[in-house]
Structure formats: C-alpha cells, structure tokens
Amino acid sequence: MAARVIAFDWSTTPLGARDAWSPALRLAVDMILAANFPMALRWGPELVLIYNDAYAPALHQNHPQSLGILFNQTSPEFQASIRALHDDILAGTSPGYAFEKLPLRVTRGGKQELGYFRASYSPVPDATAANGIGGVLVTAVEISQSVAAEKTLRTTQERYAMAREVAGVVGAWEWDIKANKVYADARYAELHNVSPEFAEAGLPAQSYTPAVHPEDADRIRDIALKAAQAGGDFSGEYRLVQADGSIRWVYTRGRAYLDDEGHPHRNTGVIVDITERKQVEEELATARVGLDIAAESAGLGRWDYDPKSGRRFWDPRVRAIFGVAPDVPASAEAFAALVHPDDVEGLNAAIDAAMDPTGPGAINREYRIHRGDDGALRWVEAFGQAFFDGDQCIRFVGVVSDVTARREAVERTLRQEETLRQAVDAADVGTWDLDIDSGTLTWSDRCYQMFGMSPGDPVDVETAYALIHPGDVARVREATLEAMNPALRPDYAVEYRAIGRDDHVERWLGVKGKVFFGDDGKAHRFVGAVVNITDRKRSELHLRLLVNELNHRVKNSLATIQAIAAQSFTGERALPQAQEAFSSRIVALAEAHDLLTRENWEGAELHDVTARLAALHGGAARFDLSGPSIRLSPKTALSLSMALHELATNAMKYGALSTPEGRIRVVWDFAPEPGAARLDLTWTESGGPLVKPPTDRGFGSRLIERGLAAELSGSAAIDFQPDGVVCRIRALLEA
C-alpha cells in the first residue's frame, strides 16, 4: 500500500497533489502505512480514503480500487450507517466512536478468514482545516484470540517482577480503569513527580498527567484511551518535565485488558528512560554521523556498511560484543560465521527488507551468535537505518547491544509461569471472577470440571447456586451476603457439596474468595478459588465411622474381658493359675485386636490369623498351615483367634506342643453346602503325649464348643483322641 499511495495520482482527488498535503495529513498517512494492524484514514470534507496493507482484506473485492475513493462514492447503505459519526467528528462535536466485535476478513498463511476487531473512529487534528479537524482515523485491533486478563493481585505482582528484570526497564504501573486508580513503583512515581508512597497505594490517573510535556499530553492520552477501549498491546514515547525543570524522554509499553463484556478493565505496562537514546536520534537526524556519541555509555556498539563499496565498519564495542579481535577485517563472511544457524535465514531476510527501497528502511531484530573468542552463546539486538538515493541503498548504519541477560530473564519468568500453571493444575484448583455490577461470572476450565460442566458453557450466579446441594444453599448464601457486607468485609471461606450438572457426581468443594469494594463503599468485584476436597471429606466421614466403630469395639472388648475374668476366676483353680489363664487369654485378645487394627477393622485374612498364632506358640516349624485365602469379618476373626489360642494353650500344657516332637496341623476350606458361605477348619495335634479325655470341661473347652458356636452361628467339637486332640470348627463367614 505504501507503493500504491506513492504511485497514486492524488491531483485527481480533493486532496490534491501529495506535495501540497498539510503536515498533519502527511504524518497521519505515514503513521497508518507504518502500522502492522488494520488502519485507514478518511480525509477532508469529502472523506477521501487512504488505508494500509492490514486494512486491505476488510475491503474484499473493492481493494485496491478503494484507494482515493470519496465517501459519497461508497454504497448508500454504508453511507447511511456511519455518515453521521464522520460529520460529528469533522465538526469537532465528537471525540470519536468505537465499535465492539466488528467482523473483518484477515489474511493468515495466504488464506483469508473471518476475524473480529475492535474498531474506532477518531479525529485527526489539522491546523489548516476549518474546524481544526482534518480527517477521521479508523483503527482496528484484532480481538479474535485476545488473552484473558490476569485475575489476581499475585499475578499482577509477578508481572511487575518480570518487568523489572527486563533490561532497561525503570518503572512499572497498572491502571484499574473502573476504579480510576494507577498503582506504580517508586521510579515511575519519581519520574512523574508523584510521591512513591501514594503511588504504591494507588492514585487517580489525573495525578500523573501534570508531569507530561504539554506538547505530548494529547497524543499520549489518545494512545491510552484508544488502548483502553480496544484492548491489546500499545506503546509510545513522550517527555516528562521533572521537578527541577529538566526533560526526560520515556518509552512506555504495555497491554490493555477488557472485562468479559468487552469493556475497559485495566492497563498495565512498563517504562524505559530513553532520554539518551532520543538525544542520539536527534543527532542522527541532523548529521547522520556521530553515532558513537553516548553509545558506549549505553552499552551499544556502532556498525556502518557502504553497499556500493562493500566497506564495513565495526567499532570496538561491536567487536567486544561479538568477540572479534581488532585485527580481523569486518566482512560479511566473518559476521555470518558468528550467527547461530537457526537465525541466519530470518536475519538475512530482515536485512534484505531493510535495504530494499520498497521495504521498511529499518531493522530491529534480536538473534543469537556464538561469540568469536570463546564460543559463548549470546543474544544480541540490532537497530539499523538504511539511507537511499533513488532506488539504491547508499548507506546502512546502526547499533547493536548484548541482550542476553534480558532474554534469560524473560525465559526464566516464562518457566516460572508454566511451573505455577502446572502447580495449579496439580492442586486441582479452579478460579472464578464475578463482576457484581454486571452480574458476569467467569469460571476457569478447572472450575467447570468441578461443577460437572463443559468449559465455555454459559454460567451465572443463579446457575451456580442451582448446582449446590439443597442442604447447603442457605449456608452458602449467608456466607456470600456476609462477605459482601461493607461493614464487615470478611474473607469468604465456605465448604459445600455440589451436584455436577452433566455428570451428576456429588463433590465436596472448598471455596475461598475476596470481595473488592469501591470508593463508594459498594461491592464491585468478587474473586476466588475453589478446591475439590471430596477425598478429604470422605476421609473425615470414614474417620467418624472408625471412631464409632472403635467405641462399639471397645464396649464389646470390655464385655469379652469381663466374661474371660468371670470364667478365669471361678475358684475352681488356684489364684496363680487363674491369673496365668486370664493373662494369656487377654494376650490372645490383644493379638486379635492388633491384627484387626492393622486392617482398619475391616476384617483379616485367615492365613494371617493362623500365622500370628503359630508365631506366638512355638514358631512356624511346629505348625503346618494349609488352606485358601479367606477373608474374615472382624467378629469372626476375633472369636476364631480366641478359640485357636485356647487350643494352642492347652497343647502347650498337655498336648503336642508340650514335647519337642509334637506338631499341629491346621487345615481350612470353604464348606461345601449351598447357601451362605461357611468355613470348615480342622485342628489336629500329633507327636505329643498320650491323650486322655478330661473328666470335666474347663472354660477353654466351653469357649470353643459353646461360645464359638453361638458367636459364629456354627458348630465346634473337640475330640480327645489318643494320638492327639482334634477340633473341628464350622463358622458362618458373614457373622
């Protein structure tokens, strides 16, 4: 489009020949042609159209014949739509207009596709025009893939930290547009003649504007307001009048964020003190020589190339940055040997474009090198300007600096942000943001998952309440109202159950948040995080059940101990014998409890019960244990352990375990009868002394034959055979 504008015969339009254009028109045209996003200009009462390459796809088949077209030559529908706003701007009665989500055709990868833009119509001052307004500037900023604004103060602080690490940055700021408060660091405040303490706490934007040079104030204000309306990146340079009357040049760069409704939300950015750079630029514009002035102090090296003669010049600073010895001739081959192979193609293309008379005429590029003296990998940034005589480049000069530290800082920050993102994902944390004024509720993808919804589905406050368990809704509403009470302003913390909308899964959620109040004392924003605490709640419930079960078990154990004591101290035996019997039975009971405790009182394996018994009564060498894996309920495990202990105690006193050669075989299996599962277990002693049937039955025999049968809904019988005692037990496994 730059070439088309130059070649166009403007004398056929109301604008007249380009040589007769006003300075304001020339500046406006140069500005839109240099921009890489859609911009157009309608100039004069006839609103003659001039536009750039990025704007061309929006004209579809009307490009390029729309260049120089008058407004009244467009379609009647188009004129009827926006004629009035152009007239208001040209008359000086309107500061401009903006439109949200304007669809335009854009070109990507050689293909056209539909994109959405935020378009604005702004007046362009021109002292030669009747009303002081020469034309209308049309800008369009694509918002198709706009990055969502960061939601928390922590993220904002990290952005500030990143900005301070970037080489050359001297100040950082953030403008809360709705609250009209600008939060800035100390250096930013000092440059704008504002107290750092007040700047950190937040001051109205008007507090910073008096320091802006009067000649730059309107321009910078327009940049800020346009960015606030359109969103996206912005940058600009302006002068600051210091308290001592001196002038400082600064460069600001930042990003404007819109809320979910597309309204201005906040701007954030950094500034760089470019006073020295501007001084150098002024000297370059005057004489195009003397680039060494201030370059050394700024860490810049100067280079110069004469395409006609092929001569190159590298100053000592350039040679130091590239690690090239003073006696090495400056040549294209020497330079190419230093550039990283992956950056050669892109760098050469940028150089060719800068030296092309139809190109930008300048270069600003970062690339990697392997330093010549030590081979170290470094990042460098080059600025250059090409000068032309007709269509021939006659000189290409510029500066270069080592920006390795800055690049490493940015990459380190990106890694930290990725680590933080992974940490949030790993912690199963969702975030939410409620604009109280508009009622707009925004959820992160993880938040959608916790409520059993698909990310991106429409959601509002009532939708969220509808997903809360009915038993918890009143409590959540009460906590919300309390958090939004300006007289209390507590932190919001509540736990409740949610029923997934699509998956119908009940989850316990832990929610924490903070309400932000405006100067009017009203709540305007409510943000927070939600964590899935279902596992924790289930653990708490399980713990309560275990405590209740423990209480039940303790009561049962005490009853069992009481029965053991009553049977052990009957007076039928001497006190020492009774004490010994009581102690051993209590040990058996404790062993059974210990085994069940390790299993969280959810039962025990029969093999573990018998193996524990063998370990306590002579070791595995004296026992032969055989049977399938059978899971016993707590009640069955406890009763069976007591019975087997009685058998083992008798065997140690009178039976197989009372002699070195004696052995005990314990065999079990599932009972073959149909119906409820039952256990068949046989205890067989061998190798012991000759067995004589007892004349009466003691507590142990009664415990086994009567108590066990009653406890386990089964049967037990002890057979005192001469070769050894045999006990057969049948028990209901679900007892």
Model pLDDT, residue 453: 93
At residue 265, the 3 state secondary structure works out as strand
**Residue 629 maps to which CATH number?**
3.30.565.10
Token couple for 594: 């210990």
Virtual torsion, Cα 258, 263, 268, 273, nearest 10 deg: 120
**HEC profile of 697-731:** CCHHHHHHHHHHHHHCCCEEEEEEECCEEEEEEEE
Report pTM.
Answer: 0.30
List pLDDT tens digits, range 549-592.
555 455 555 545 554 555 455 556 566 666 665 666 566 555 55
List pLDDT tens digits, range 531-545.
988 888 888 776 676
Query: Does 618 share its domain with 474?
Result: no
User: Burial code of 678-693, b = ≥16 C-beta within 10 A, e = fewer?
Assistant: bbbbebbbbbbeebee
pLDDT at 712 over 80: no
List pLDDT tens digits, range 4-40.
999 999 999 999 999 999 999 999 999 999 988 889 9
Model pLDDT, residue 167: 43
Model pLDDT, residue 37: 80
- 708 inside domain: yes
Model pLDDT, residue 134: 94
Is 228 in contact with 254 (CB distance < 8 Å)? no
Is 202 in contact with 188 (CB distance < 8 Å)? no
User: What is the rounded CA–CA span in Å between residue 722 and residue 730?
Assistant: 23
Query: Does 42 share its domain with 125?
Result: yes
Is 704 in contact with 727 (CB distance < 8 Å)? yes
- 147 inside domain: no
Q: Which residue from 43, 78, 85 is spatially nearest to 59, judged by alpha carbons?
A: 78
Q: Which residue's structure tokens are 């990868």?
A: 109
Q: How many domains does the chain have?
A: 5
How many helices (DSSP H) and strands (DSSP E) are in the chain? Answer: 21, 27
pLDDT at 704 over 80: no
Model pLDDT, residue 645: 83
Model pLDDT, residue 291: 44
Q: Which of 114, 142, 170 is the last residue of a domain?
A: 142
Strand partners, 181: 176
List pLDDT tens digits, range 282-336.
766 554 444 455 555 567 888 999 998 889 999 889 999 999 999 999 998 999 9
| Residue 163 or 120, more confident | 120
Query: Does 353 share its domain with 475?
Result: no
User: What is the rounded CA–CA span in Å between residue 167 and residue 407?
Assistant: 9
Model pLDDT, residue 683: 94
Query: Does 397 share its domain with 432?
Result: no
User: What is the rounded CA–CA span in Å between residue 592 and residue 589?
Assistant: 5
Token couple for 458: 């429409």
Query: Does 257 share its domain with 287?
Result: no
- 412 inside domain: no
Model pLDDT, residue 151: 42
Structural domain of residue 463, as residue ranges? Answer: 427-531
What is the overall mean pLDDT for the chain? 83
- 524 inside domain: yes
The count of C-alpha atoms lying within 13 angstroms of the C-alpha of 381, restricted to the half-sphere facing its C-beta, is: 12
**Residue 241 maps to which CATH number?**
3.30.450.20
List pLDDT tens digits, range 410-459.
888 888 877 766 666 666 788 889 999 999 999 988 899 989 999 989 99
- 314 inside domain: yes
Token couple for 585: 């039975």
Model pLDDT, residue 4: 95
User: What is the rounded CA–CA span in Å between residue 353 and residue 343?
Assistant: 16
Q: Which of 531, 547, 566 is the last residue of a domain?
A: 531
Query: Does 382 share its domain with 492?
Result: no
Chain centroid to CA 19: 55
List pLDDT tens digits, range 253-284.
889 999 988 899 999 988 888 888 788 777 66
Query: Does 108 share its domain with 207?
Result: no
* Window from 188-197, 425-434, 643-652 with minimum mean pLDDT: 425-434
Q: Which of 273, 306, 331 is the last residue of a domain?
A: 273
User: What is the rounded CA–CA span in Å between residue 596 and residue 591?
Assistant: 9
- 15 inside domain: yes
Query: Does 302 share its domain with 215?
Result: no
Query: Does 93 share its domain with 109?
Result: yes
- 419 inside domain: no
**Bond from prior residue into 64 cis (ω within 30 degrees of 0):** yes
Query: Does 166 share its domain with 218?
Result: yes
Model pLDDT, residue 697: 63
- 413 inside domain: no
Chain centroid to CA 619: 59
Model pLDDT, residue 145: 64
Model pLDDT, residue 390: 87
Query: Does 635 share its domain with 557?
Result: yes
**HEC profile of 213-254:** CHHHHHHHHHHHHHHHHHCEEEEEEEEEECCCCCEEEEEEEE
Residue 629 identity: S
Query: Does 263 share its domain with 282?
Result: no
Strand order in the sheet with 492-499: 440-443, 429-435, 523-532, 506-517, 492-499
Is 661 in contact with 680 (CB distance < 8 Å)? no
Is 135 in contact with 44 (CB distance < 8 Å)? yes
